[in-house]
Structure 1
Amino acid sequence: MRKTKLLTWIVVVLILSPIFVVLPASETSATSNTVRMEVPSQQEIVPSDSQLISPVRHRGRGAYQGLFTTTAQHGKNMIVKVQNKGKDTVYMTIKRNDSEFVSDIAIRGGSQRVQHFEEQVAIGIRGDWKIYVYSRIGAALDLRIEANQY
Protein backbone atom coordinates (compact mmCIF):
# COMPACT_ATOMS: atom_id res chain seq x y z
CA MET A 1 0.00 0.00 0.00
CA ARG A 2 2.77 2.40 0.96
CA LYS A 3 4.75 1.67 -2.25
CA THR A 4 1.65 2.22 -4.37
CA LYS A 5 1.06 5.66 -2.81
CA LEU A 6 4.71 6.58 -3.30
CA LEU A 7 4.67 5.47 -6.95
CA THR A 8 1.42 7.35 -7.57
CA TRP A 9 2.90 10.48 -6.03
CA ILE A 10 6.07 10.22 -8.15
CA VAL A 11 4.04 9.75 -11.35
CA VAL A 12 1.87 12.78 -10.53
CA VAL A 13 4.95 14.92 -9.84
CA LEU A 14 6.60 13.86 -13.09
CA ILE A 15 3.47 14.51 -15.11
CA LEU A 16 3.01 17.98 -13.63
CA SER A 17 6.70 18.90 -13.75
CA PRO A 18 7.61 21.53 -16.39
CA ILE A 19 10.70 19.47 -17.25
CA PHE A 20 8.54 16.84 -18.92
CA VAL A 21 6.30 19.13 -20.97
CA VAL A 22 5.43 17.71 -24.39
CA LEU A 23 5.29 20.53 -26.91
CA PRO A 24 3.21 20.58 -30.08
CA ALA A 25 5.14 20.27 -33.36
CA SER A 26 4.73 23.99 -34.11
CA GLU A 27 6.47 24.87 -30.83
CA THR A 28 9.47 22.68 -31.46
CA SER A 29 10.16 23.82 -35.01
CA ALA A 30 12.88 26.34 -35.74
CA THR A 31 10.46 28.68 -37.49
CA SER A 32 7.55 30.38 -35.80
CA ASN A 33 4.88 32.86 -36.77
CA THR A 34 5.90 35.79 -34.62
CA VAL A 35 4.56 39.04 -35.99
CA ARG A 36 5.67 42.55 -35.17
CA MET A 37 3.54 45.66 -35.03
CA GLU A 38 4.22 49.26 -34.14
CA VAL A 39 2.03 50.53 -31.34
CA PRO A 40 0.98 54.20 -31.52
CA SER A 41 3.30 56.28 -29.36
CA GLN A 42 0.61 57.48 -26.98
CA GLN A 43 -0.11 53.95 -25.75
CA GLU A 44 1.72 52.80 -22.67
CA ILE A 45 3.22 49.40 -22.03
CA VAL A 46 0.72 46.85 -20.74
CA PRO A 47 1.47 45.41 -17.28
CA SER A 48 3.37 42.20 -17.76
CA ASP A 49 4.08 38.79 -16.37
CA SER A 50 7.78 39.30 -17.01
CA GLN A 51 9.88 42.49 -16.97
CA LEU A 52 12.60 41.72 -19.54
CA ILE A 53 14.34 45.09 -19.35
CA SER A 54 13.44 47.16 -16.31
CA PRO A 55 13.07 50.82 -17.28
CA VAL A 56 16.63 51.99 -17.82
CA ARG A 57 18.05 55.39 -18.74
CA HIS A 58 21.02 55.36 -21.13
CA ARG A 59 23.06 58.53 -21.67
CA GLY A 60 26.26 59.21 -23.54
CA ARG A 61 27.85 58.77 -26.95
CA GLY A 62 28.01 54.98 -26.85
CA ALA A 63 25.27 52.83 -28.35
CA TYR A 64 22.81 50.98 -26.11
CA GLN A 65 22.67 47.20 -26.28
CA GLY A 66 20.15 45.16 -24.30
CA LEU A 67 20.14 41.36 -24.20
CA PHE A 68 17.40 39.17 -22.73
CA THR A 69 15.66 35.82 -23.17
CA THR A 70 11.93 35.19 -23.47
CA THR A 71 10.27 31.93 -22.43
CA ALA A 72 6.97 30.52 -23.65
CA GLN A 73 5.42 30.30 -20.20
CA HIS A 74 5.52 34.10 -19.77
CA GLY A 75 3.11 34.71 -22.63
CA LYS A 76 2.55 35.20 -26.34
CA ASN A 77 3.23 38.96 -26.43
CA MET A 78 6.25 41.18 -25.96
CA ILE A 79 6.56 44.95 -26.06
CA VAL A 80 9.78 46.95 -26.46
CA LYS A 81 9.62 50.69 -25.79
CA VAL A 82 12.44 53.10 -26.69
CA GLN A 83 11.98 56.73 -25.76
CA ASN A 84 14.46 59.17 -27.33
CA LYS A 85 14.80 62.07 -24.90
CA GLY A 86 17.63 63.59 -26.94
CA LYS A 87 17.35 66.05 -29.82
CA ASP A 88 18.93 63.94 -32.60
CA THR A 89 17.51 60.93 -34.43
CA VAL A 90 18.60 57.49 -33.22
CA TYR A 91 18.13 54.09 -34.87
CA MET A 92 16.88 50.84 -33.37
CA THR A 93 17.52 47.25 -34.45
CA ILE A 94 15.89 44.26 -32.74
CA LYS A 95 17.10 40.70 -33.33
CA ARG A 96 15.74 37.37 -32.18
CA ASN A 97 18.08 34.38 -32.30
CA ASP A 98 20.40 36.48 -34.53
CA SER A 99 17.64 37.16 -37.10
CA GLU A 100 16.59 40.80 -37.55
CA PHE A 101 12.96 41.55 -36.76
CA VAL A 102 13.30 45.33 -36.77
CA SER A 103 16.08 46.91 -38.77
CA ASP A 104 17.38 50.47 -38.40
CA ILE A 105 14.07 52.09 -37.45
CA ALA A 106 14.49 55.85 -37.00
CA ILE A 107 13.32 57.40 -33.72
CA ARG A 108 13.33 61.19 -33.95
CA GLY A 109 14.49 63.31 -31.03
CA GLY A 110 11.76 63.84 -28.46
CA SER A 111 9.70 60.85 -29.66
CA GLN A 112 9.34 57.18 -28.83
CA ARG A 113 8.86 53.85 -30.56
CA VAL A 114 6.79 51.02 -29.13
CA GLN A 115 7.25 47.71 -30.89
CA HIS A 116 4.82 44.87 -30.20
CA PHE A 117 5.58 41.23 -30.99
CA GLU A 118 2.96 38.45 -30.89
CA GLU A 119 3.49 34.72 -31.29
CA GLN A 120 0.51 33.50 -33.31
CA VAL A 121 1.13 29.75 -33.51
CA ALA A 122 3.20 28.48 -30.59
CA ILE A 123 2.13 28.54 -26.93
CA GLY A 124 4.35 31.52 -26.14
CA ILE A 125 7.06 33.77 -27.49
CA ARG A 126 10.59 32.60 -26.82
CA GLY A 127 14.12 33.28 -27.94
CA ASP A 128 17.29 35.23 -27.29
CA TRP A 129 16.76 38.91 -28.09
CA LYS A 130 19.09 41.83 -28.71
CA ILE A 131 18.06 45.49 -28.81
CA TYR A 132 20.60 47.87 -30.29
CA VAL A 133 20.06 51.65 -30.38
CA TYR A 134 22.66 54.01 -31.84
CA SER A 135 23.30 57.37 -33.51
CA ARG A 136 24.61 57.51 -37.05
CA ILE A 137 26.30 60.88 -36.44
CA GLY A 138 27.89 60.16 -33.08
CA ALA A 139 25.43 62.35 -31.18
CA ALA A 140 25.01 61.98 -27.43
CA LEU A 141 22.17 59.61 -26.59
CA ASP A 142 19.52 60.15 -23.96
CA LEU A 143 17.25 57.10 -23.99
CA ARG A 144 14.71 55.37 -21.79
CA ILE A 145 14.26 51.70 -22.66
CA GLU A 146 12.07 48.90 -21.30
CA ALA A 147 10.70 45.55 -22.45
CA ASN A 148 7.90 43.35 -21.11
CA GLN A 149 6.44 39.96 -21.92
CA TYR A 150 2.86 38.99 -21.10
Structure 2
Amino acid sequence: FLTTKNRPTPELQNRKWICDLVFLVDITNHLNSHNKTLQGKDLIILDLLARVKAFQLQAKKTPFFPRMAEHFLSDVHACEKEFLTFLTPFDVNTEEVAEHLKMEIIKLQCYDAFHGKFKLSTPLEFWRSVAATGTYPAPVRDSLQIATLFGSTYPCEQLFS
Protein backbone atom coordinates (compact mmCIF):
# COMPACT_ATOMS: atom_id res chain seq x y z
CA PHE A 1 0.00 0.00 0.00
CA LEU A 2 2.68 2.52 0.98
CA THR A 3 4.73 1.64 -2.08
CA THR A 4 1.80 2.45 -4.36
CA LYS A 5 1.54 5.86 -2.67
CA ASN A 6 5.24 6.52 -3.27
CA ARG A 7 6.06 6.39 0.44
CA PRO A 8 9.36 4.62 1.05
CA THR A 9 9.36 2.28 4.06
CA PRO A 10 12.88 0.96 4.55
CA GLU A 11 11.98 -0.07 8.12
CA LEU A 12 9.64 -2.74 6.79
CA GLN A 13 12.57 -4.31 4.96
CA ASN A 14 14.72 -4.42 8.11
CA ARG A 15 14.23 -7.73 9.93
CA LYS A 16 15.66 -6.44 13.25
CA TRP A 17 13.32 -3.45 13.18
CA ILE A 18 10.34 -5.76 12.52
CA CYS A 19 11.36 -7.96 15.48
CA ASP A 20 11.61 -4.90 17.73
CA LEU A 21 8.20 -3.73 16.55
CA VAL A 22 6.64 -7.13 17.24
CA PHE A 23 8.18 -7.14 20.72
CA LEU A 24 6.90 -3.62 21.37
CA VAL A 25 3.39 -4.57 20.24
CA ASP A 26 3.41 -7.67 22.46
CA ILE A 27 4.70 -5.87 25.53
CA THR A 28 2.30 -2.95 25.01
CA ASN A 29 -0.61 -5.38 24.74
CA HIS A 30 0.53 -7.14 27.93
CA LEU A 31 0.89 -3.85 29.82
CA ASN A 32 -2.50 -2.68 28.58
CA SER A 33 -4.14 -5.88 29.85
CA HIS A 34 -2.38 -5.47 33.20
CA ASN A 35 -3.38 -1.81 33.39
CA LYS A 36 -7.05 -2.69 32.90
CA THR A 37 -6.94 -4.99 35.94
CA LEU A 38 -5.74 -2.03 38.02
CA GLN A 39 -8.81 0.07 37.29
CA GLY A 40 -12.31 -0.08 38.63
CA LYS A 41 -14.68 0.65 41.43
CA ASP A 42 -13.90 -0.29 45.04
CA LEU A 43 -10.26 -1.18 44.45
CA ILE A 44 -8.00 -0.15 47.28
CA ILE A 45 -4.24 0.04 47.22
CA LEU A 46 -3.90 -3.45 48.68
CA ASP A 47 -5.85 -5.02 45.82
CA LEU A 48 -3.59 -3.28 43.36
CA LEU A 49 -0.42 -4.31 45.17
CA ALA A 50 -1.50 -7.95 45.04
CA ARG A 51 -1.98 -7.63 41.29
CA VAL A 52 1.37 -5.90 40.84
CA LYS A 53 3.07 -8.67 42.83
CA ALA A 54 1.41 -11.27 40.62
CA PHE A 55 2.58 -9.35 37.57
CA GLN A 56 6.08 -9.18 39.03
CA LEU A 57 6.18 -12.94 39.52
CA GLN A 58 4.73 -13.54 36.08
CA ALA A 59 7.32 -11.21 34.54
CA LYS A 60 10.10 -13.07 36.39
CA LYS A 61 11.09 -10.26 38.75
CA THR A 62 10.54 -7.48 36.18
CA PRO A 63 13.62 -7.88 33.95
CA PHE A 64 11.99 -5.68 31.30
CA PHE A 65 10.95 -3.05 33.83
CA PRO A 66 14.02 -2.21 35.91
CA ARG A 67 12.79 1.32 36.79
CA MET A 68 9.52 -0.07 38.11
CA ALA A 69 11.41 -2.59 40.22
CA GLU A 70 13.85 0.04 41.42
CA HIS A 71 11.39 2.75 42.46
CA PHE A 72 7.80 1.59 42.81
CA LEU A 73 8.38 -1.86 44.24
CA SER A 74 10.95 -0.64 46.76
CA ASP A 75 8.29 1.76 48.11
CA VAL A 76 5.79 -1.09 48.25
CA HIS A 77 8.15 -3.33 50.20
CA ALA A 78 8.84 -0.51 52.66
CA CYS A 79 5.11 -0.34 53.50
CA GLU A 80 4.42 -4.06 53.43
CA LYS A 81 4.40 -4.56 57.22
CA GLU A 82 1.85 -1.77 57.64
CA PHE A 83 -0.30 -3.34 54.94
CA LEU A 84 -0.10 -6.74 56.63
CA THR A 85 -1.33 -5.22 59.88
CA PHE A 86 -4.35 -3.95 57.97
CA LEU A 87 -4.95 -7.19 56.06
CA THR A 88 -4.25 -9.75 58.78
CA PRO A 89 -4.31 -8.11 62.22
CA PHE A 90 -4.79 -11.46 63.98
CA ASP A 91 -1.90 -13.18 62.21
CA VAL A 92 0.65 -10.39 62.21
CA ASN A 93 3.70 -10.84 64.43
CA THR A 94 3.38 -8.12 67.06
CA GLU A 95 7.17 -7.87 67.29
CA GLU A 96 7.15 -6.53 63.72
CA VAL A 97 4.31 -4.05 64.26
CA ALA A 98 5.09 -0.34 64.61
CA GLU A 99 5.69 0.64 68.22
CA HIS A 100 2.67 2.96 68.45
CA LEU A 101 0.37 0.07 67.42
CA LYS A 102 1.89 -2.79 69.35
CA MET A 103 -0.19 -2.75 72.57
CA GLU A 104 -3.49 -2.14 70.82
CA ILE A 105 -2.86 -4.91 68.27
CA ILE A 106 -2.01 -7.32 71.11
CA LYS A 107 -5.27 -6.41 72.87
CA LEU A 108 -7.20 -6.73 69.61
CA GLN A 109 -5.70 -10.18 68.95
CA CYS A 110 -6.91 -11.33 72.38
CA TYR A 111 -10.51 -10.23 71.82
CA ASP A 112 -12.42 -13.19 70.36
CA ALA A 113 -15.47 -11.21 69.24
CA PHE A 114 -13.36 -9.12 66.86
CA HIS A 115 -11.59 -12.23 65.65
CA GLY A 116 -14.94 -13.70 64.64
CA LYS A 117 -15.97 -10.47 62.90
CA PHE A 118 -12.71 -10.44 60.97
CA LYS A 119 -13.30 -13.93 59.59
CA LEU A 120 -16.76 -12.94 58.35
CA SER A 121 -15.90 -9.65 56.64
CA THR A 122 -13.43 -7.91 54.37
CA PRO A 123 -10.56 -6.03 56.03
CA LEU A 124 -12.22 -2.71 55.19
CA GLU A 125 -15.56 -3.76 56.71
CA PHE A 126 -13.74 -5.12 59.76
CA TRP A 127 -11.85 -1.90 60.46
CA ARG A 128 -15.04 0.12 59.98
CA SER A 129 -16.74 -2.02 62.63
CA VAL A 130 -13.78 -1.58 65.01
CA ALA A 131 -13.88 2.18 64.38
CA ALA A 132 -17.57 2.24 65.28
CA THR A 133 -16.77 0.87 68.75
CA GLY A 134 -14.32 3.67 69.53
CA THR A 135 -11.69 1.18 70.71
CA TYR A 136 -8.17 0.70 69.34
CA PRO A 137 -7.84 4.20 67.86
CA ALA A 138 -4.23 3.88 66.65
CA PRO A 139 -4.67 0.79 64.45
CA VAL A 140 -8.06 2.09 63.26
CA ARG A 141 -6.47 5.40 62.21
CA ASP A 142 -3.58 3.67 60.41
CA SER A 143 -5.89 1.17 58.74
CA LEU A 144 -8.21 3.85 57.47
CA GLN A 145 -5.23 5.79 56.12
CA ILE A 146 -4.14 2.70 54.21
CA ALA A 147 -7.67 2.08 52.95
CA THR A 148 -7.98 5.62 51.64
CA LEU A 149 -4.80 5.56 49.61
CA PHE A 150 -5.86 5.98 46.02
CA GLY A 151 -5.15 2.73 44.29
CA SER A 152 -6.20 4.11 40.95
CA THR A 153 -7.53 7.23 39.32
CA TYR A 154 -11.00 5.67 39.17
CA PRO A 155 -12.54 7.79 41.98
CA CYS A 156 -11.21 10.99 40.41
CA GLU A 157 -12.37 9.97 36.94
CA GLN A 158 -15.85 9.22 38.27
CA LEU A 159 -16.00 12.60 39.95
CA PHE A 160 -15.48 14.41 36.64
CA SER A 161 -17.46 12.13 34.33
Q: TM-score range by the shorter chain?
A: under 0.3
Q: TM-score, length-normalised on structure 1?
A: 0.26
Higher Cα radius of gyration: 2
Normalised by the length of structure 2, the TM-score is 0.24
**Which one has a larger percent helix, Structure 1 or Structure 2?**
2
